[in-house]
Amino acid sequence: MLEFDTTQDQLANIKVIGVGGGGNNAVNRMIEHGVQGVDFIAVNTDAQALNLSKAETKMQIGGKLTRGLGAGANPEVGKKAAEESKEQIQEALRGADMVFVTAGMGGGTGTGAAPVVAQVAKELGALTVGVVTRPFTFEGRKRATQAASGIAAFKENVDTLIVIPNDRLLEIVDKNTPMLEAFREADNVLRQGVQGISDLIATPGLINLDFADVKTIMSNRGSALMGIGSGNGENRAAEAAKKAISSPLLETSIDGAQGVIMNITGGANLSLYEVQEAADIVASASDPEVNMIFGSVINEGLKDDIVVTVIATGFDDSIATQPPKPIIRPNVNHTQQQQQPVAQPLKQREVKREMKREEPIVHERHSDSDDIDIPAFLRNRRRR
């Protein structure tokens, strides 16, 4: 009889490496939140700041160049520091199947060193995903210019890139929201994406997804969107799908995505109709010829909740990187989008669903009520 080793060692090895002060803070908050199934690495030129990191692996780079005193907001110093410590970075990332590189752009270490770290990860053969923030407008033009240059260099060295403009934080919180809580909202984009992918790979499903599926959608694809949405009640599937694709913090919307991984997780009462309803919402927001890789997991612990995870790539970057229109009113509860006028029904699209089992049955619906609460970008794309 053949025996198969299905231990954790056979699962994809995922590493999250935070570069510079912003990246280190993001890693700390992920650890505090209890993200499982990944290895954390903190990289910095500032030895004092590095001591505050909760990551299991801490790496001071550019010791000879900076003597542990930081990069002084100079990206060139950050770059040279990473190049000085390249072998150390290689050793830390060796064996990784997937590497998330996160940094705050505009300063010295994150802006200069993150592209070098990403380059090392790609050279080692890892699927490399960048998650970065743009500085607030009030931080000044020089920092914004440095951030733009850093993001351009970073994009050349990652498979997919997710950009979070810090200015969006001002649009989703009210004036009394503490600063730490506001920054947690930005960190949630990274945390949810990392945890979502880790769960996709590690959790066997009714319709299973694996690391090869993730790699198919995310390899060399430019800008990306990652989102998780949850819902309960009568319209829980639609609610979860809309939340997953409607993050107000991202520079990229799902509009025009050519590659999508979608996973829907629910309790034993998850119905085929709900699966089809959620998939239709995501597919309708994407490119007409989208390649959708679909998975489904039954988790008894969720009971009446449904969780939808979406990873979208393959955008026309000239369109995708244009920031969506600002939100008019602050969204205090961070999850619900503004109520929008009722739109005309969505067209049915032919979607190439690459599935491990049979495709869900498509139910034709023609009621105007189906379009209530459709996110703004879905309606805007039909006006083009």
φ, ψ dihedrals at 173, nearest 5° = -120, 160
**Contact present, 16 and 41 (Cβ < 8 Å):** yes
Question: Going by C-beta distance under 8 Å and a sequence separation of 6 or more, which residues neighbour residue 354?
Answer: 291, 292, 293, 294
Question: Going by C-beta distance under 8 Å and a sequence separation of 6 or more, which residues neighbour residue 192?
Answer: 226, 227, 228
Q: Determine if residue 109 is labeled as part of a ligand binding site.
A: yes
Which of these, 203, 201, 199, 180, lies nearest to 191 by C-alpha position? 199
Q: Determine if residue 108 is labeled as part of a ligand binding site.
A: yes
Q: Determine if residue 112 is labeled as part of a ligand binding site.
A: no
Provide the residue type at 379 as one letter. R
How many CB atoms sit inside 10 A of residue 264's CB? 27
Structure tokens at 154: 């970073």
Q: Determine if residue 205 is labeled as part of a ligand binding site.
A: no
- Can you tell me the distance from the alpha carbon of 94 to that of 15, in angstroms, rounded to the nearest whole number? 10
- Can you tell me the distance from the alpha carbon of 370 to that of 384, in angstroms, rounded to the nearest whole number? 21
Q: In what order do the strands lie in the sheet with 222-223?
A: 57-60, 39-44, 14-19, 98-104, 127-134, 160-165, 222-223
- Can you tell me the distance from the alpha carbon of 148 to that of 243, in angstroms, rounded to the nearest whole number? 28
Rounded to 5°, angle at Cα 204 from 199 and 208: 95
Structure tokens at 336: 């619900």
**Contact present, 314 and 375 (Cβ < 8 Å):** no
- Can you tell me the distance from the alpha carbon of 258 to that of 100, in angstroms, rounded to the nearest whole number? 22
Structure tokens at 69: 């005193």
Q: Determine if residue 236 is labeled as part of a ligand binding site.
A: no
Q: Determine if residue 143 is labeled as part of a ligand binding site.
A: yes
Provide the residue type at 212 as one letter. A
Structure tokens at 317: 């970057």
Q: Determine if residue 111 is labeled as part of a ligand binding site.
A: no
Q: Determine if residue 22 is labeled as part of a ligand binding site.
A: yes
Q: Helix, strand, or coil here: 342? A: coil
Binding residues: 21-25, 108-110, 139, 143, 187
Which residues are known binding-site members for GTP?
A: 21-25, 108-110, 139, 143, 187
